[in-house]
Structure 1
Amino acid sequence: MIHFLMVVSKQGKPRISRFFTRQANQITMQNAVTRLCLRDGKQEGFVNYEDLVLVYKLYVNLWFIAGVSQDENELAILELFQNLVETMNEYFGKVTEVDILFNMDRVYMIIDEMIINGNIAETCRGRILVPLQLMDAAK
C-alpha cells in the first residue's frame, strides 16, 4: 500500500504531497523523509524509514518520493513514477517544476486518477487524462 507520494525540488522544497493514510505529524515526517532521500546522493533507491520503505527517483530537477508498506513491490512504484511523469509530459508537453507549481490542481487530479486509497488503480494514460481533457473542453 502507498502511504504517501511527494514531489520535491532538488533544494528540498515540497511541491506536491498526497497522503493516503493518516500520519501523526505530516510536516515533520515530510522534512525527515526529504532529508533522508536527498542526503543519500543516489538518483534512485530504497530506504527504510520507521515501518515504511521509501522509494525515490530523480527526474530532471524533481524528486518523486513514495512511502510504501514493507510488502509493496518497490519496482512497481518506480514504474508508477515513470508512468506519472510520462502522463504529465503528455498533458503539459514537457513537464517542468513551473508547470507543477502553476497547475497543482491538475497534477493532483492525475495522481488521484492513478492512485485510489493508496492502491494503484489506473495506469492507462488515455483514461487518466480523460477528466482533464473534459474539463479543458468545457472552458
Structure 2
Amino acid sequence: MIHFVVLISRQGKVRLTKWYSPYSQKERTKVIRELSGMILARGPKLCNFVEWKGYKVVYRRYASLYFCMCIDADDNELEILEIIHHFVEILDRYFGSVCELDLIFNFHKAYYILDEILIAGELQEPSKKTVARLIAAQDALVETAKEQASSISNMIAQATK
C-alpha cells in the first residue's frame, strides 16, 4: 500500500502531497522536512529506494521534480517506480511535456489525475487511454459549467438593468 505521495522540487518546495494514511498536520510537516532533506542530499548514482521508519520511500527525479511514494517495507519497489512513471507519462500526455510550472498553476488537474490513478493507496487505473478519456470528460464538464455560469450571470445582468 502507498501511504503517501509527495512531489518535491530540487529546492525543497512541496508541489503536491496526497496522504492515504492518517497523519496529523504536525506529523506531515515533519515527514516532508525529513524526507526532502534525505532525498535531496542523495547522489544521482544511488538507488531510488530509501528505508525510513520501517517503511520504504521510492522516488524518482524527472527534470526539477522528485516524485516520492512511501510504501510498506515488504511491497515491491519496482512496481512503485512503474506507478510513478505511469503518473508522469499521463501528466506529459495531458500537459505536453509537463514541467514544474504546470503543476504549480494547474495543481487541481494534477490532483485529479492522481486520483484517477490511485485510490486509497492502491493502483486503480493502469490504462493511460482510460485516464486520458476521463480527464477529457472532466474538462468538458468544467467548460459546460463555466458556460452555464456565464449565461446565468448575463441573464441576471440583463434582468437588473
Aligned-pair identity in percent equals 32
Counterpart mapping for 1:16-27 below 5 A: 16-24=16-24, 25-27=27-29
Q: What is the letter of the counterpart of residue 43 of structure 2?
A: G
1:26 deviation in Å?
A: 0.6
What's the RMSD between the two structures over aligned residues? 1.2
TM-score of the superposition, structure 1-length normalised? 0.95
Unaligned runs of 5+ in 1: none
Aligned partner (choices 42, 45, 50) of residue 44 of structure 2 = 42
Q: What is the letter of the counterpart of residue 8 of structure 2?
A: V
Partners in 1 of 2:94 and 2:35 — Cα distance? 29
Is 1:11 the counterpart of 2:15 in the alignment? no
Structure 1, residues 56-75: CA drift from partner, whole Å, max 9, x if none? 11101110011100111100
- 1:56 counterpart SS class: strand
Unaligned runs of 5+ in 2: 144-161
Q: Comparing 37-46 with 51-60, which one deviates more in the overlay?
A: 37-46
Q: What is the letter of the counterpart of residue 31 of structure 1?
A: R
Is 1:109 the counterpart of 2:112 in the alignment? yes
Counterpart mapping for 1:1-139 below 5 A: 1-24=1-24, 25-42=27-44, 45-138=48-141, 139=143
Q: What is the letter of the counterpart of residue 38 of structure 1?
A: L
**Higher share in strand:** 1
1:131 deviation in Å?
A: 2.7
**Higher share in helix:** 2
Partners in 2 of 1:49 and 1:135 — Cα distance? 37
Q: What is the letter of the counterpart of residue 57 of structure 1?
A: R
Structure ID, larger Rg: 2
4+ residue runs over 4 A deviation: none
